[in-house]
């Protein structure tokens, strides 16, 4: 593990790619992350991870992963840390790398699907249009803490609730000739749902790399964003410069009985030294 004097960094990454040998990849990633802390999920549809450590250890992990042709082009979003995000490493096999809860929906792309990605530079112009519905593809407590200006809260307590909201509103959006621009923290939720939404007949666009990529790419991101960005680790929240804020888990969840379990979980994990 890193010494006390080394600077600490966080990386987030994912890629939807067909993996036929998931168990073998799990073992490989466990070997690659011995000097790191965080969590990596692997499934037949790809990889999804968040890790923290010293820069040399993260560099070595990234280079080793990129040597696997299946992960070519994977993007690592990196930021400096003041608080250690995690206290141990977990690498697990799952049925999905992000659970959507709709049978038959995978993040693996078909050649017939239209490319829905929008760069951070083009995103600002897109969401300013009158014919665009700006949809936050995160949980409601995340939306309350911070969001793009004029973004709609889909009122979900769990990602699995998102499908019902979209299905209920799709006819209205179509009747109004609205396009849907959606975003999430790192991009993975939008990646999982974009093709499914296209299948409902919607014209969908997703912010490439999510909020974290927008903050990283746009020096004046604060012009389009209000509040902070929640992150699922011990840092709790980041500002538009990817700097940790003073916001606590108690402040994030306070006053919402439906989120009490999240606060209790955050307290338990912090006390137990888990990510």
Active-site positions?
Answer: 184
Burial class (CB in 10 A: 0-12, 13-18, 19+), 60: middle
HSE-up of residue 195 (Cα within 13 Å, Cβ side): 17
| Beta-sheet pairing, 9-16 with 46-53 | antiparallel
**3-class DSSP state of 197:** helix
With CA atoms as reference, report the closest residue to 99 among 51, 45, 151, 141: 45
What is the rounded CA–CA span in Å between residue 79 and residue 8? Answer: 9
- Residue 75's contacts (CB-CB under 8 Å, 6 or more residues apart) are 13, 209, 213
- DSSP lists the bridge partners of residue 78 as 11
What is the rounded CA–CA span in Å between residue 268 and residue 57? Answer: 28
The angle, 0 to 180 degrees and rounded to 10, between the axes of the packed helices 120-127 and 210-217 is 100
Phi and psi (nearest 5°) for 31?
-65, -40
Task: List the alpha helices (DSSP H) in 162-220.
Answer: 162-175, 188-199, 210-217
**3-class DSSP state of 250:** helix
């Amino acid at each position: 593990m890193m010494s006390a004097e080394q600077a600490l960094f966080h990386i987030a990454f994912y890629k939807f790619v067909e993996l036929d040998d998931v168990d073998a990849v799990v073992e490989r990633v466990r070997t690659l992350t011995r000097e790191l802390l965080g969590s990596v999920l692997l499934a037949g549809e790809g990889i999804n991870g968040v890790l923290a450590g010293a820069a040399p250890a993260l560099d070595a992990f990234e280079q080793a992963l990129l040597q696997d042709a299946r992960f070519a082009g994977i993007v690592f979003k990196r930021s400096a840390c003041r608080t250690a995000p995690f206290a141990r490493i977990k690498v697990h096999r799952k049925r999905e790398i992000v659970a959507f809860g709709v049978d038959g929906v995978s993040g693996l792309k078909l050649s017939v699907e239209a490319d829905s990605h929008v760069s951070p530079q083009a995103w600002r112009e897109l969401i300013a249009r009158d014919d665009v519905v700006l949809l936050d593809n995160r949980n409601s407590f995340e939306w309350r803490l911070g969001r793009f200006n004029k973004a709609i809260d889909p009122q979900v307590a769990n990602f699995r609730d998102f499908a019902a909201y979209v299905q209920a509103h799709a006819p209205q959006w179509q009747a109004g000739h609205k396009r849907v621009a959606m975003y999430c923290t790192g991009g993975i939720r939008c990646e999982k749902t974009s093709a499914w939404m296209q299948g409902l007949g919607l014209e969908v666009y997703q912010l490439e790399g999510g909020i974290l990529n927008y903050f990283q790419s746009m020096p004046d991101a604060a012009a389009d964003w209000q509040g902070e960005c929640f992150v699922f680790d011990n840092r709790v929240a980041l500002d538009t410069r990817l700097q940790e804020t003073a916001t606590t888990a108690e402040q994030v969840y306070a006053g919402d009985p439906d989120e009490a379990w999240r606060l209790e979980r955050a307290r338990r994990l912090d006390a137990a030294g888990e990510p």
